Structures are given as C-alpha cells and as structure tokens.
Amino acid sequence: MKMTKRLFENDTMTAEERLQAVINLQVPDRVPSSPFIYYFAAKYAGITVHELWSERKRYLAAIDKCFDELGPWDAYYPVNPRYPEIYTLIMPMKARWPGIDLPPDSICQLLETEVMKAEDYAWVSEMAGKWGRLSYVGFFLRMIARAWDHIDEGFGAFTYAVPRMVHHLAGWRLEFDSWRRRGVTTLYGFLPEVAFDSFSLARGLMPFVKDCRVRPEEVARAAEDLTEGYYFITRVICALMGIPRAQLFLHRSSNDFLSPKMFNELAFPSLKSLVDRLVAAGIQVVLHCDGNWDLNLEKLRELPAGNCIVEFDGPSNIFLAKEVIGDRMCIMGDVPPDMLCLASVSEVDEYCHRLIEEVGKGGGYIMASGCEVPPNARPENVRAMLGSVTKYGYYGTKPREQSPIPEPHTMPT
Amino acid sequence: MDLPERLVKAMGDLDEDQVLELAGSMLASGAEPLEIIELCREGFKIVGDRYERREYFLSGLIISDDIFGNVMGLLDRSQCFKLDDSQKLGKVVLGAPLGDVHDIGKEIVSMLLRCSGFEVVDLGVNVRPSEFLEGAVDSGAGVVGISALITMAYEPLRETVAAFEREGLRQRVKIMLGGGAVSQRVCDYAGADAWSRDASDAVKFTRQFSGKE
C-alpha cells in the first residue's frame, strides 16, 4: 500500500519519503519526527501502565490521543508488547511488571540477574552451529524459560512463546497499516537487541564484564555465531510487518560500560556482520545507542553509509556525532528526559531549534526524545518538541503557522 | 621499585597476575594483611583517577573490584571490611528511591566506596524517604547517596531531601544523587547537594563531604 497523504499543508513529501530522504542523507522537505512514546501515553490518557499494556484498545486510544493532541509525528515508534513475556524475547532479563509485581501505574523495571550462565557461551556456539537460521529462537527459548517461572524449557517455551509472538506481530501489522493510511510511516518492523548486548543483559553487567576479561574470545565468537539467527529472524519479521527497517538495541556497548578497545574488539565485529547483512538484504538499520558513544563514533563510520539511523539518548554529544558520522549516517534524538520533565517550554523549544539548525543542517536528522519520552514528561514540552519540526524544520521555505491536515481515522482493535 | 610500589602499580594497571604474585610474596615475607589492603587501595585510587580521565571505563572499575576481591581471598576476604573505626574514612548510606528497583548503579558506587575505605550502609532499592532518614540517623552517616534510573523517581528524590530538611538534618547530612535519570536540573529540583555523573564522581563528592580530601 503506497502512502500518499501529507501531514501538513507545507509538506511536499510523504512521511515515508521524508524518512527515506534523511536515511539516504538527502535533504527532505522538512525534519521528520519519531518520538518513542509508550508509558507517557498512559499518563497522558489518564490510564494506568497496566491498562496500557494489557488492554489493547486502551493502548491504541492513548497513543491516538498523544498523536492528535501533541503531534502529529512522521514515524510511529512501536514498542508495545502484547504480552510481558514478549519483552523477554528482545531483552533476556527478569523483569518486574506493573499490575503483576509492581503497582499498576509503575513502569516495567528490568533486574540484573544471571539469566544466562558463563557456560552458556559454549552452548550458544554449539547450538548456533546446529540451529543455524533458527538460532535466535533457540537462544531466546532458553532465556525466556529462565526469566519466567511459569514457562518450561524446550518445547514448553516454544508452545508458550510462539503463539503469543504471532498474535503480537499480527497486532503490530494491523497498527502499521493503519498508521500508513493516516500518512504516518513506521520506524522499524522488528527491534532485536544485538547479540553482544543480549549477553550483557542476560548475564548481568558485572559477570559479563568479567566474562569479557577471562573469556573474551568465547564471548565474541558466540555473538558472531548468533549473527545468522539474528539476521534471519529480523529479515523475516520485517518482511511480515511490511517495514524494511530494523532497530538494533545497543543498551550495553556505550563508553559508559566498555572501553573503546573492548567495543572495537569484542562488540563491533558481530554488530558489523549483522548490519552489513541486513543492509545487503535491503533492510535499513536504526542503532538505538543508549549512553555515551562519543569514543565509539569513529568506529561506526565502518558501517554502510546512507542506510543507518543512529539514535542517541542524551549522554552522547549529538553535535559531535554530526561532525564525525553525519556524512555517513542519519542522526536521531536527543531531547533529554530531564528536560522533557522539568524544563520550561521555551527551554525545550530552544534546544530543539538548535538540534534542527546544527544536527539537521543539510538533512540527515530525525527529531526525537532521548530514548523514551518519560511518563512524567510535561505534555506542553512534548508538544513543543514535536512542533519544532514545522516551526524550524522546513528546508528552503519560510516557516509559518499551520495546522495538521485533519482526517478522521480509526485504529484496528 | 620495591614490592609495595610494584603492587600499587600493578593494581593501577589492572595486572591481576602481578597483583596476586606480589601480594603473595609480601604475605610470605611477613607483611600484615592490612598493609596489603592499603596498597591495593592506593592502586585502586590510580584506577579511579584513570577512570575520571576516561583512560579506564566502567569495565575497568569492575575488573579492579574483581582483582581486589581475589586479593581479599588470598588474605581472607573478611578482613577487608572489618577495619576499625579509625581506619574508615566515614559512613555512607546508599539506596535507590521509592519506585525504582534498579540496583546496578548503586552496586557500582557501593563497590567503589568500600574499596576506597568507606563503610556503606546499603538500604537496597525502592527506599522510602523515611527509610533514608532512619538509615542516616541510625548509622550516623554524614552522606546519603541516591541512585535513580527512572524519571518517575524525581518526586521521591525531592521528598527525601525535604524529609531531611523537616528533621533539621540537612546541615549534618549531605545528599548526593546519581544514576541515568539524574542531571544538574534534577539536582536543583530535588534540592540535593550534588549529582554525580559517574561512580568516580560519587567517591569524589563523598570524600569532600566527609572532609577526607
């Protein structure tokens, strides 16, 4: 289904054309936006987080409310897991969930426990050799059973997780189609953590760092061995979702955790293998880079140009990133969470203006929050962030006051 | 370079084999375990300084803790934290605020503070303002460190500082914040004394607040 609707009167591109232009490092009609909104939607819509993730209609209504009243945005940023266990298929960690282990209005919190054992690296490499393209499934079925007491290992994990994953993906596909009809594209069709960072999450930070010291080759080899499985599942799910883009989470590869040497030698090789294969298969990549990446930026230049978005969450110097990788990668972010919660509208407006002027210079930039829009962000600050792309973000035309083009819409249930 | 100097250097260089060999040699030649601990702490300070200069990273801190732990194993780990009061630099209360159950940041700061000679009273996660207050009063700690990873913790942070104000303890107890959700803006909002960008900052502030620097 081809997108034709434009979001604003002054727009000369559709949201998808705009997104493609910035990924390809071309100059679009204006800066696009793609806010990571999930928990915030619950608070803004006056429902609990438990209701947000457990009642689909309420989730859709809450996101709609954000879009209609604070947006619009160009690219939908999907995160909503239909089941909490689905989360574990991306981030292999034990978690506490609102309405289950936490008060209903809390946010999900991940725990640093050893879901994966040190001896599992050898198992991963052996399993990947046998399972090949299905090694992602093999790895996560073991992890999900360890993260949740009610899920058995092996076939039990398979029969539990797979139908739920299929149900989840079917819901995503309907959502993405609906957004497309509204003139909004979707940022990505699947969002795996990269293998190296999956190990860090599953082992727990301190044991993982020790692994990188005492068994570095084993860690790096296991990450490399899983590449085939990560590539295959990403390619299949992106195709099923109709979105040829994947987000790769990099929660634990920043300089906050790893030295540049460790990143270069242990984390980067498997990351590059995966990105190269995905890009070669026509799938563009969003690197979700949490933490400070300033000393890793130069290395990122080795990834394929004109096919990657690098998303920063605040600690990295996004202006430095523009200088170092701006000629090769689209940059996304990074209105800091504390700014969205505590600053004034004028401070947000000023920062977004600077982002557009400096990081958006010549294209190659997407306006977004630094990681997630916090649940307690001030709505007027979120509106200021999203509004900045029409206030300051047009290339080659004078900005003027304008309203989104209205269109009745319905979301799938 | 004599054995003690070599031990300090090896610790600073994160050279575990050297550290264990030198510690073993010193023990065999009659050195007191506490002397070896102190030398390791000197080496640990080098690690902290290099971390501050971004020559080392969090992985380096964790590795140094691992080496330190192995030295303690050599000496009898129990001696590490059984220093008498005159040998401690001070007491620190640590915790994650109400609503936040993440403990990794707190664990790292705790590790660094203990290795630097402070006694840590760890209140755990999801700590109420009243529990921070009780912890500081009961232990007599002069510094409270709060690690927050989520923005939902901003109000509990502010309430915790207010609780110390209400009890007239703000002059005696310094409050520092840290964690991924914290910034100068959050520190100002909460009314805390300082915010630490990383674990090394936390040790620096604790030393300052304890009058040990």
Question: Is the CB of residue B25 less than 8 Å away from at least one CB of chain A?
Answer: no
pTM recorded for the entire structure: 0.90
Could you list the beta-strand ranges (E) of A126-179.
none
Cβ of A337 and B56 within 8 Å? no
3-state helix, strand, coil in chain A (%, to 5): 50, 10, 35
- Smallest Cβ–Cβ distance between B150 and the set A107, A258, A336 belongs to A107
Residues A186, B104: Cα–Cα separation, whole Å: 33
| Closest alpha carbon within chain A to B153 | A376
Report how many Cβ contacts below 8 Å link chain A to chain B.
77
- Smallest Cβ–Cβ distance between A106 and the set B99, B103, B189 belongs to B99
Distance of CA A354 to the CA centre of its chain: 23
Domains delineated in chain B: 3-79 (1.10.1240.10), 85-209 (3.40.50.280)
* Ranges in chain B, pLDDT < 50: 77-78, 80-81
Domains delineated in chain A: 15-391 (3.20.20.210)
Optimal mutation site among A94, A197, A205, A265, interface B, most CBs of chain B within 10 A: A205
Q: Mind telling me how many Å the CA of B85 is from chain A's nearest CA?
A: 29
Question: Is the CB of residue B154 less than 8 Å away from at least one CB of chain A?
Answer: yes
Cβ of B152 and A213 within 8 Å? no
Q: Mind telling me how many Å the CA of B195 is from chain A's nearest CA?
A: 13
- Smallest Cβ–Cβ distance between B62 and the set A109, A210, A338 belongs to A210
- Smallest Cβ–Cβ distance between A112 and the set B58, B103, B152 belongs to B103
Cβ of A209 and B181 within 8 Å? no
- This model of the complex carries an ipTM of 0.80
Residues B93, B97: Cα–Cα separation, whole Å: 12
* Ranges in chain A, pLDDT < 70: 1, 397-413
**Residue pLDDT, tens place only, B47-82:** 888 888 888 888 888 888 888 888 877 776 445 445
- Smallest Cβ–Cβ distance between B58 and the set A257, A339, A375 belongs to A257
Q: Mind telling me how many Å the CA of B56 is from chain A's nearest CA?
A: 7
The full 3-state SS of chain B, as one line of letters, equals CCHHHHHHHHHHCCCHHHHHHHHHHHHHCCCCHHHHHHHHHHHHHHHHHHHHCCCCCHHHHHHHHHHHHHHHHHHCHHHCCCCCHHHCCEEEEEECECCCCCCHHHHHHHHHHHHCCEEEEECCCCECHHHHHHHHHHHCCCEEEEECCCHHHHHHHHHHHHHHHHCCCCCCCEEEEECCCCCHHHHHHHCCCEEECCHHHHHHHHHHHCCCC
Cβ of B101 and A96 within 8 Å? yes
- Smallest Cβ–Cβ distance between B57 and the set A102, A107, A255 belongs to A255
Predicted pLDDT at A409: 46
Question: Is the CB of residue B124 less than 8 Å away from at least one CB of chain A?
Answer: no
Optimal mutation site among A206, A316, A351, interface B, most CBs of chain B within 10 A: A206
Question: Is the CB of residue B109 less than 8 Å away from at least one CB of chain A?
Answer: no
Predicted pLDDT at B62: 85
Q: In this structure, are residues A202 and A92 in contact, taking their beta carbons and an 8 Å threshold?
A: yes
Predicted pLDDT at B85: 63
Q: Give A-chain residues touching B185 at CB under 8 angstroms.
A: 338-339, 342-343
- Smallest Cβ–Cβ distance between A342 and the set B59, B186, B198 belongs to B186
Q: Give me the amino acid identity at A112.
A: E
Q: Give B-chain residues touching A205 at CB under 8 angstroms.
A: 62, 104
Strand B194-196 with A284-289, pairing: unpaired
Q: Give B-chain residues touching A201 at CB under 8 angstroms.
A: none
Cβ of B154 and A336 within 8 Å? no
